[in-house]
C-alpha cells in the first residue's frame, strides 16, 4: 500500500494518477472528503481505501505492516489565511505525528514543504539546510512550513528515508477547485476564455516593471516525476528545492497562455490587493543542484512546454489528470 495525504487536492490527486500509471493500485487516499468540488479529482482513479484525515492515525496503527511508502502532501495552503491555529494543527502538529509514525513503523516518507519559506529571498533560494532556521517567511502558511522543516532538522531520530520538497509555483491540471489560490495560468485561461483579455498585478516595486515580476513556475507533472523518483531512490534523505530552476516573468506566462489558446494578447494591469501587497514575492528561482547531485537527471518542462500541454490537453477540453 502507498499512502497519499491530501489525496483530493491538486498535487495529491495528480500523484495518485501517476502511481496508477505505474501499476500501484493499492492507494490509501487520506483527506477531508467533505468538499464535493474536490472529489472529482479522484474520479476514475484506482484507490484501495479512503481514510478521513482525523481517523488516519488510528487506521495506520492497525495497518502499518502493509505500508510501503507515505507521501504527505496534504496541508492548508491558503497564503491569505491568517488564523495561525489552523496551520498549527494541519501543517505542523499533524506532520509531526506522521513523522513519528514513520519512525515507529519504518515507513519511508516524502512530505511537502514550500518555497513560501524563503520569504522575500533575502538569503537567496538555496536549499542549504544550514540556512533554514534563518529564513523569514511572509505569512503564516510559509511560517508553518518552515517551522516543520526546522523541527525535522532538530530531530535525532528519522524515518530510514525521508525527503522534504520545497514546491515553487506549481501549476497544472486538477487545480480547478483552488479559486484564488489556483495558479496564474489557470486564472489567465479563465479570464481569456470569458473576456478575450486578462489582468496582471501592477508592480509596486521600483526594480520591476509591470508584468516583469518573476517566479519559478514548475509544471505539476515534473513535481510528480520527482516524487516517484524519490520513492524508488530511497537514499540521500534531506530537504530539497523543487522548481524548474529558471525564473520567468508573468508577461511570459500571459503571452504563452494567449498563444496556446490562439488568442491575440490583451493585458491590463491592476493594483496588487493591499492584503498581500507587502508580502508579495517579486522574484523566486530554485537552486536545483542539490536534487541533481543525487542522480535526478530528467528534463524540467519549460514554461512554454508546460502551458501548451496544460491549456491544450486539460483546460480547453476540461480534462483531469
Binding-site residue numbers for NADP(+) are 10-11, 31-32, 38, 53, 73-77, 145, 170, 178
Q: Which residues are annotated as a binding site?
A: 10-11, 31-32, 38, 53, 73-77, 145, 169-170, 178, 180, 187, 201-204, 215, 280
244 near 301, Cβ under 8 Å?
yes
Q: Which of 45, 96, 178, 246 is catalytic?
A: 178
Is 290 annotated in the active site?
no
Nearest CA-CA partner of 170 in 125, 103, 215? 215
Q: Which of 94, 111, 118, 141 is catalytic?
A: 141
Is 141 annotated in the active site?
yes
Q: Which residues are annotated as a binding site for substrate?
A: 169, 180, 187, 201-204, 215, 280
- Distance, CA of 101 to chain centre: 23
Nearest CA-CA partner of 215 in 261, 160, 168? 168
The Cα–Cα gap between 212 and 55 comes to 46
Q: Which residue has the cell 493591499?
A: 274
Phi and psi of 121, rounded to 5°? Answer: 75, 25
CA dihedral 33, 34, 39, 45 (to 10 degrees): 20
Residues designated as active site: 141, 178
Amino acid at each position: 500500500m502507498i499512502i497519499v495525504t491530501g489525496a483530493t487536492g491538486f498535487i495529491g490527486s495528480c500523484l495518485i494518477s501517476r502511481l496508477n500509471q505505474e501499476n500501484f493500485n493499492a492507494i490509501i487516499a487520506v483527506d477531508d472528503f467533505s468538499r464535493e468540488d474536490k472529489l472529482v479529482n479522484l474520479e476514475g482513479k484506482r484507490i484501495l481505501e479512503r481514510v478521513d484525515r482525523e481517523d488516519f492515525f488510528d487506521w495506520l496503527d492497525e495497518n502499518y505492516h502493509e505500508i510501503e511508502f507515505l507521501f504527505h502532501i496534504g496541508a492548508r495552503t491558503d497564503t491569505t489565511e491568517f488564523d495561525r491555529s489552523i496551520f498549527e494543527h494541519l501543517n505542523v502538529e499533524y506532520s509531526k505525528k506522521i513523522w513519528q509514525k514513520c519512525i515507529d513503523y519504518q515507513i519511508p516518507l516524502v512530505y511537502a514543504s514550500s518555497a513560501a519559506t524563503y520569504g522575500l529571498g533575502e538569503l537567496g533560494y538555496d536549499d542549504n539546510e544550514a540556512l533554514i532556521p534563518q529564513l523569514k517567511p511572509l505569512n503564516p502558511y510559509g511560517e508553518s512550513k518552515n517551522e516543520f522543516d526546522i523541527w525535522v532538522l532538530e530531530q535525532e531520530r528519522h524515518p530510514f528515508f525521508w525527503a522534504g520538497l520545497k514546491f515553487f509555483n506549481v501549476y497544472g491540471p486538477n487545480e480547478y477547485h483552488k479559486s484564488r489560490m489556483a495558479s496564474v495560468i489557470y486564472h489567465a485561461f479563465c479570464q481569456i476564455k470569458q473576456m478575450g483579455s486578462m489582468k496582471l498585478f501592477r508592480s509596486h516595486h521600483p526594480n520591476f516593471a509591470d508584468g516583469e515580476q518573476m517566479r519559478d513556475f514548475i509544471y505539476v507533472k515534473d513535481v510528480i516525476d520527482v516524487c516517484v523518483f524519490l520513492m524508488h531512490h530511497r537514499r540521500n534523505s534531506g530537504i530539497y528545492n523543487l522548481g524548474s530552476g529558471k525564473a520567468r516573468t508573468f508577461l511570459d506566462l500571459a503571452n504563452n497562455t494567449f498563444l496556446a489558446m490562439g488568442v491575440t494578447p490583451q493585458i491590463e494591469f491592476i493594483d496588487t490587493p493591499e492584503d498581500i501587497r507587502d508580502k508579495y514575492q517579486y522574484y523566486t528561482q530554485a537552486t536545483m543542484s542539490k536534487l541533481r547531485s543525487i542522480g535526478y537527471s530528467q528534463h524540467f518542462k519549460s514554461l512554454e512546454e508546460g502551458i501548451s500541454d496544460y491549456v491544450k490537453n486539460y483546460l480547453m477540453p476540461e480534462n483531469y489528470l
